[in-house]
């Protein structure tokens, strides 16, 4: 290479360098945005100009100065937000189907002249409140008949429902046939590189419009506005749908003549969601359709329902947040819900679709509560040192602790004796019990100077354990700690006194099952010889002692009269029955079938058990509801929800006994199952194993004053530790 050519190349490189430097300087002078915005623009790649168009759109008009601030807020905090899935394009069929179903929903259920909406919605809530019970056409029919006593009215509304069901069924088949899963792509799609100018301008304009006209938002401060109405995402959902589009569909439902009544607003949207969510459980998941997820063919879980609801509420001017817990106190599950603001500025929490506002029956089951924010928060992801392990539960940098909105809380500290190591550990964790191991639900900052870990906003009336994380996972560093309702912290440590435990359960009674049980008190067992029960005679009235422990009870029937028909009927409330079998002590010359054995829960009951011989009477079930045969299958884990259950024996029979059990989770002691008792002494230790002969177990020579864990090694998943006081099991974190 000649010397002249070499010099020329060097000069050319120098020129290119200064041109690039000049370009960058010009770029910065041309776009003098806030530092956070500039940082985001540098990461936006080819999408940079789309975001600049948004900023310039608002910057050039003085009247849009607040919108410009809003755009700067969104863009500067957009780093880290992304969609985990993206739909390249929505098939027209999806959009048209949503329009048709939305239109039909409004015509059928939200006509201005139809004042019966809330009556019908109330009864649908009664269905949904049972949680595990899927509403069938027959059950909805019975509810409609109770809601609308007039025959013409019944036919009219039933015609509406039939029309609706037929329509959505046909659309469902079309959608399944037409939607191609390859239209969906998986990965990480950063908002900075994918959100368009038109989409973001539409979103900002819609948010400001709602702030101005919505009665729930008019008094919002700018700070609260930008964290609710202005925020366009709660998780990693697709955000392709325009906010004005969502507003057009749902504003009329969310805001009605009684729009200042937040409870009715929630009820209306819940009901609309129920109507739109017509394909649930009818097929396979077809991918993340973002806003159109409501049309999917798989079970729409609480996270997606809540995320979807927050998006709709904020797009319609009702300030809302997505809240979640990483663990229930009494079961190994997570949960998402919605917090929605009323006109006085108070936030109310509920689970969309099935829960009405003000229904807090399950709130005390939730442990620590967190809120997904748009701006990064002070949390483990942002507090931990570079080399410190952070469990998956706490890797979300946008989680804000809002436990005080849900529970009575306290602040406390525990000793920390370890020195700093190579990880420069900054955090300790508070955990609750899980059958899969201790589950962290809160973090605390380590104070090395005072040698302690500080925990804030901790729910009272619960039992915890403190630990740290290393390469082997969670390591407990304390004994179990119980915080009582008065915020007193008590350590639970075993002593050397051996005791004997008599155990009847591995998991406490469930609140909703107790409520179902209470509804059955006063139910009648009747005998009759006419199929319409016009000659019915009451044979037994079910009391609280018959169903209190959810065991199988033998109900004595004292009558010499014979009956062809026997039924159990309730006074207007559903029966939730796991076992309903009829027996006779007289030789009936019928097939003898082994029935359900009455439960034996103590030595006293073992001594007093009725050893008489009984024949289980076979017959045909009277039609009353779907799956009613589950009450006769001898399996306590199956049940039927019905208003009555009855049997036709074909001819009159002598009735001596009815064996009966309410719906339950079968968490008592199951005869023949293998159990192991564990107790906590710095780790879980075995206190012995037994095969159950009766519906109770006895374990001897077990250390006193610790927490115990009874495991069924054959069946079931629900287990919860307990303490033993005055001969009784007291489950920790029972709710």
Domain boundaries, the chain: 1-30, 87-317, 405-491, 499-508+668-731, 511-662
Q: How far apart are CA 638 and CA 132, in angstroms?
A: 12
Q: How far apart are CA 222 and CA 285, in angstroms?
A: 39
Q: What is the end-to-end Cα distance of the chain in Å, rounded?
A: 84
Q: What is the reported pLDDT for 169?
A: 52
Overall CATH class of domain 405-491: mainly beta
Per-residue pLDDT of 677-708, as tens digits, reads 999 999 999 999 999 998 899 999 999 999 99
Per-residue pLDDT of 350-404, as tens digits, reads 998 778 888 887 899 999 999 999 999 999 999 999 989 999 999 999 999 999 9
Identify whether the C-beta of residue 356 lies closer than 8 Å to the C-beta of residue 335: no
Q: What is the reported pLDDT for 129?
A: 41
- Same fold flag, 405-491 and 499-508+668-731: yes
Q: How far apart are CA 70 and CA 605, in angstroms?
A: 71
Both structure tokens of 441: 């639900």
Q: How far apart are CA 551 and CA 418, in angstroms?
A: 50
Per-residue pLDDT of 416-455, as tens digits, reads 998 888 788 999 999 999 988 899 999 999 999 999 999 9
Reported residue count of the chain is: 735
Q: How far apart are CA 663 and CA 670, in angstroms?
A: 16
Q: What is the reported pLDDT for 200?
A: 98
707 DSSP 8-state letter: -
CATH label, 499-508+668-731, candidates 2.60.40, 1.10.3470, 3.30.70, 2.20.110:
2.60.40
Q: What is the reported pLDDT for 8?
A: 57
Identify whether the C-beta of residue 505 lies closer than 8 Å to the C-beta of residue 667: yes
H helices of 467-607, in order, are 511-520, 544-547, 603-607
CA atoms within 13 A on the CB side of 174: 15
Q: What is the reported pLDDT for 94?
A: 55
Q: Which parts of the chain register pLDDT below 50? A: 16, 18-29, 112-164, 166-167, 171, 173-184, 279-284, 286-289, 295-298, 590-593, 606-608, 611
For strands 462-470 and 427-432, give the pairing. Answer: antiparallel
**Nearest-CA neighbor of 24 among 54, 48, 55?**
48
CA atoms within 13 A on the CB side of 433: 27
Three-state DSSP class for residue 388: coil
Q: Under 8 Å CB-to-CB from 610, ≥6 apart: which residues?
A: 554, 598
Per-residue pLDDT of 54-113, as tens digits, reads 999 999 887 889 999 999 999 999 999 998 766 555 555 555 555 655 555 555 555 544
């Amino acid at each position: 290479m000649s010397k002249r050519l070499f010099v020329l190349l060097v000069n050319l490189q120098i020129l290119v360098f200064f041109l690039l430097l000049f370009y960058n300087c010009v770029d910065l002078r041309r776009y003098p945005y806030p530092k956070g915005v500039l940082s985001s623009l540098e990461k936006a790649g080819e999408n940079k100009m789309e975001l600049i168009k948004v900023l310039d759109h608002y910057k050039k008009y003085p009247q849009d100065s607040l919108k410009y601030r809003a755009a700067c807020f969104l863009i500067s905090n957009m780093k880290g937000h992304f969609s985990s899935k993206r739909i390249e394009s929505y098939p027209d069929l999806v959009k048209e189907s949503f329009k048709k179903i939305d239109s039909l929903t409004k015509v059928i259920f939200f006509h201005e002249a139809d004042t019966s909406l809330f009556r019908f919605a109330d009864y649908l809530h009664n269905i949904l409140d049972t949680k595990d019970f899927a509403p069938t056409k027959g059950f909805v029919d019975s509810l409609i008949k109770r809601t609308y006593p007039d025959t013409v009215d019944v036919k009219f509304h039933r015609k509406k429902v039939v029309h609706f069901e037929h329509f959505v069924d046909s659309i469902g088949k079309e959608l399944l046939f037409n939607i191609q899963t390859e239209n969906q792509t998986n990965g990480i799609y950063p908002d900075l590189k994918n959100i368009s100018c038109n989409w973001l301008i539409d979103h900002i304009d819609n948010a400001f419009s709602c702030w101005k006209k919505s009665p729930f938002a008019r008094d919002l401060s700018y700070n609260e506005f930008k964290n609710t109405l202005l925020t366009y995402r709660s998780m990693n959902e697709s955000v392709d749908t325009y906010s004005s589009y969502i507003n057009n569909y749902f504003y009329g439902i969310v805001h009605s003549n009684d729009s200042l009544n937040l409870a009715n607003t929630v009820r209306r949207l819940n009901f609309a969601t129920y109507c739109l969510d017509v394909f649930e459980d009818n097929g396979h998941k077809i991918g993340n359709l973002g806003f159109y997820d409501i049309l999917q063919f798989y079970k729409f879980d609480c996270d997606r329902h809540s995320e979807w609801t927050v998006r709709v509420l904020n797009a319609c001017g009702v300030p809302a947040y997505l809240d979640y817990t990483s663990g229930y106190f009494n079961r190994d599950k997570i949960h998402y819900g919605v917090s929605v603001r009323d006109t006085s500025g108070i936030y109310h929490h509920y689970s969309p679709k099935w829960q009405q506002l003000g229904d807090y029956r399950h709130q005390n089951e939730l442990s620590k509560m967190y809120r997904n924010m748009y701006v990064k928060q002070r949390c483990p992801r942002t507090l931990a040192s570079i080399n410190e392990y952070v469990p998956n539960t706490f890797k979300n940098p946008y989680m804000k602790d809002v436990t005080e909105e849900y529970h009575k809380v306290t602040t406390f500290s525990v000793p920390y004796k370890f020195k700093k190591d190579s990880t420069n550990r900054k955090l300790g964790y508070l955990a609750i019990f899980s059958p899969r191991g201790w589950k962290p639900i809160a973090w605390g900052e380590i104070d090395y100077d005072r040698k302690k870990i500080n925990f804030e906003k901790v729910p009272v009336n619960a039992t915890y354990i403190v630990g740290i994380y290393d390469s082997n996972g969670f390591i407990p560093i304390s004994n179990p700690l119980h915080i009582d309702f008065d915020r007193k912290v008590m350590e639970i440590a075993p002593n050397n006194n051996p005791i004997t435990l008599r155990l009847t359960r591995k998991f406490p009674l469930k609140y909703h099952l107790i409520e179902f049980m209470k509804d059955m008190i006063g139910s009648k067992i009747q005998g009759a010889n006419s199929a319409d029960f016009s000659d019915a005679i009451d044979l037994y009235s079910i009391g609280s002692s018959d169903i209190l422990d959810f065991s199988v009870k033998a109900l004595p029937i004292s009558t010499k009269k014979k009956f062809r028909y026997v039924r159990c009927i309730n006074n207007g409330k559903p029966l939730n029955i796991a076992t309903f079998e009829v027996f006779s002590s007289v030789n009936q010359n019928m097939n003898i079938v082994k029935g359900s054995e009455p439960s034996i829960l103590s030595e006293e009951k073992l001594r007093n058990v009725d050893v008489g011989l009984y024949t289980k009477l076979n017959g045909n079930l009277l039609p009353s509801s779907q799956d009613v045969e589950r009450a006769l299958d001898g399996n306590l884990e199956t049940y039927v929800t019905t208003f009555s259950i009855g049997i036709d024996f074909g001819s009159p029979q002598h009735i001596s006994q009815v064996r009966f059990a309410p719906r339950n989770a079968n968490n008592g002691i199951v005869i023949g199952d293998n159990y192991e008792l564990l107790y906590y002494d710095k780790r879980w230790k075995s206190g012995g194993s037994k095969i159950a002969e009766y519906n109770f177990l006895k374990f001897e020579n077990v250390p006193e004053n610790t927490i115990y864990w009874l495991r069924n090694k054959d069946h079931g998943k629900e287990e919860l530790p307990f303490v033993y006081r005055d001969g009784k099991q007291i489950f920790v974190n029972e709710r």
